[in-house]
Structure formats: C-alpha cells, structure tokens
Amino acid sequence: MTRETVVPRVAPTLEAVAAAAGVSRSTVSRVVNGSSQVSPEVLAAVTSAIERLNYVPNRAARSLANRQTMAIALVVPEDTQRFFGDPFFAEVMLGITSVLEDSDYVLNLQLAKPSDPSEKAMRYLLGGNVDGAIVVSHHSGDDFFTTLDATIPVVFGGRPFQPEHHPSSFVDVDNAAGAALATRHLIGLGRTKIATISGPADMQAALDRHHGWSDTLREAGLDASLAATGDFTMHGGAQAMRELLEREPELDAVFAASDLMASGAVSVLRRAGRRIPEDVAVVGFDDSPAALSGEIRLTTVHQPSRIMGAEMARMLLARLRGETVETSRLMPTHLVARDSA
C-alpha cells in the first residue's frame, strides 16, 4: 500500500552473529548452548557479538533441530471460573513456577473443558508444542490425558482416574487418610450424626475422601449414609448442605471435601440457625487461604498444595532429563484445628 521507508528490523540470526564475530555458525551455536569446547578468546568475541546484536535464538528453529520445545503445559480441565475461584490451583501453580523459574522451561497454561478437551487443546498437546505436561484436576472422562503419556511425559496432580489402565505418574496426598483424620476428629468431639459433602464422583480424590469418611464411620459403628455431592465450589457446598439439612435436620457434624465447600456449608448452616461448632461441627479439606477468609476460621485437613506443585514440576523435569523416577509421590496431610470443629 504505502511506501515503507522503515527498515524492517529483522531479528539477527546465528549467521549474523557468526559473521560479526568472525567464526562459524557451529561455534556460535556452541557458545549459545554453553559448550565448554570453546577457547576463551573466541568465547569473548562471540559473547560480545551476541550482546552487540542483541541476539536471541529463534525458538522454532531450535525446536525443529533438536526436538525440544523447552515448554511444558499446565493443563487444568476446569473452566476459568473455577480455576480462578479455588485458591488450591493458585497454590499449585505457585509451586510449579517456583521450580520452573530455575530451569530453562516455560509454562503454558491450558484450561480445558472437563471430560472433553477441545480438539484444539489436543492438537496443541500432541503437536510437539510442549515437552511434557502437568495435569491437575483429572476427571474420569478424560481418557485423552491418561493416554497422552504415550506421546509426552505427563505428571498428574492428584491420582488420575483409572491409573490401572495406563499407569500414570502423579503426586498426591493420601486422601482417604486425610478424610479419616477429619472424621476421627469429629467422632472425638462426640458427634454421632456425621455427614459429608463429597466432591464430584468423576474425580479420584473425591472418591477417596468419601471412602475415608465412610470407612471411619463404619469402623466406629456409626451411620455412613448422610452424604451429598458438591462440585468443589462454595455454591455447590451450600447446595449440598441444604439437601443434607433437609434429609437430617439433627445432623451434628459435616466433613466437606474442600474448604470452599465447607465455607458454603457454613453459610447455609448459620442461616438455618445452627451455631458452629456448638450445634454442627464443620471440617474442610485443603487448608487453602479459603479456610481463613470465610465467616469462621475453618478446622481443616492440610495438604501441602504449593509443595505438591513443586514436586510435580520436579518429577516432570527429572523425567524430561531421562532420569528414572518414582511413578508417584504421596505427600502427608495433617489436621489443623481452628474454630469450626
């Protein structure tokens, strides 16, 4: 259209640096990649040329040549709302980025639809765009992610559904044990009508926590039928609480499988005139910031979310380096007694 007088500031290439330093491309490539096979003088000349030209290697060319992208994907099969709404994800991401910072890898966040990764997301993950992936919040419909491991290494945050089908590597806590901790605490408080608000049945962690609750109750000879399902959100927790209250107005305790759901339950209980913890004791799970931001300081099962994120990253990086690493890492939980139970 218009006459362009602007010099098309093309990014300098290896070639240009080589010319400027008076050496071959191979040599420049060596210094860029930190090879020790370079004489001090040449090193200096090349380094200064790089500085002078402000050279940055072209990632596409590099990837094409050595088949590494130096990128890893963080896949969260949840909608944006839930991703941002639950502090758990922030903590995990914080842990991941903290270890990636010290590496040459960059993180690509991929929010996918639960149990139905988009065509686009699948192509992205399979199209050689990342060297590995971390999948947090796996749902049972997501077969794609468990089989993805055949193409690139993937580490799950939380034991994925059907690991027997495709043995996946993951970092998790012993969810059943954590739930048992919470339930025993409630029993120790003398409660007898102990309900639970479970997470979605298509998530392994939700199932495990549910079983931890029911097994503990049965061992104690208590009824384990008072269960409702939430979706790990505050709203879902409130909804489930209403249902439980209707079914059993006399309930005196509830174990919610997440702090957010516990918060929702607390609101409903109070609005229904129950004092917490006097009338109804509530225990959450996560010990995320959400445990402290609600109407009452939540008693909850602590899981080291940030550290778990860091472990996921470390595990993936180790596999990327070709090291033999354990397929799973289980982190400890503990009960944090505060005001709600």
Question: Applying CB under 7 A, which residues contact DNA?
Answer: 10-11, 13-15, 23-27, 29-30, 32-33, 36-39, 41-42, 55, 57-58, 61-62, 64-67
Residue 58 makes CB contacts below 8 A (sequence gap 6+) with: 11, 13
Q: Which positions from 97 through 136 interact with its own copies, judged by CB under 8 A?
A: 97, 101, 106-111, 118, 120, 123-124, 126-129
300 touches 283 (CB < 8 A) = yes
334-336, strands of its sheet edge to edge: 227-229, 194-198, 253-256, 281-286, 299-302, 334-336
Stretch that binds its own copies, among 22-30, 35-43, 53-61, 268-276 (CB under 8 A): 53-61
- Token pair, residue 28, equals 């420049």
Does position 247 bind its own copies by CB under 8 A? no
H helix intervals, the chain:
14-21, 25-32, 40-53, 59-66, 80-85, 87-100, 119-126, 143-148, 175-188, 204-219, 234-247, 259-271, 290-293, 305-320
329 touches 315 (CB < 8 A) = yes
110 touches 121 (CB < 8 A) = yes
Q: How many residues lie near its own copies (CB under 8 A)? A: 39
Q: Which does 111 bind (CB under 5 to 8 A by kind): DNA, its own copies, none?
A: its own copies
Closer to DNA by CB, 38 or 331: give it: 38
Q: Give burial (CB, 10 Å; 0-12/13-18/19+) of 90.
A: middle
Nearest approach in angstroms of CB 174 to its own copies is: 26
Residue in the structure block whose two tokens are 């640096």: 17
Closer to its own copies by CB, 128 or 141: give it: 128
Q: Which does 84 bind (CB under 5 to 8 A by kind): DNA, its own copies, none?
A: its own copies
Q: Which positions from 149 through 188 interact with its own copies, judged by CB under 8 A?
A: 150-151
* Residue 123: Cβ within 10 Å count: 11
Closer to its own copies by CB, 29 or 129: give it: 129
Stretch that binds its own copies, among 16-24, 61-69, 204-212, 273-281 (CB under 8 A): 61-69
Residue in the structure block whose two tokens are 């089908």: 165
- CA separation for the pair 222, 189 (Å, rounded): 14
**How many angstroms separate the Cα of 12 from the Cα of each of 50, 66, 75, 247, 267?**
9, 20, 34, 71, 60
Closer to its own copies by CB, 130 or 155: give it: 130
Closer to DNA by CB, 130 or 244: give it: 130
Residue in the structure block whose two tokens are 């799973």: 328
Q: Which does 141 bind (CB under 5 to 8 A by kind): DNA, its own copies, none?
A: none
Nearest approach in angstroms of CB 41 to DNA is: 6
Q: Which does 13 bind (CB under 5 to 8 A by kind): DNA, its own copies, none?
A: DNA
Q: Give me the residues that bind its own copies (CB under 8 A), please.
A: 9, 11, 56-61, 63-64, 69, 80-81, 83-85, 87, 89-90, 93-94, 97, 101, 106-111, 118, 120, 123-124, 126-129, 150-151
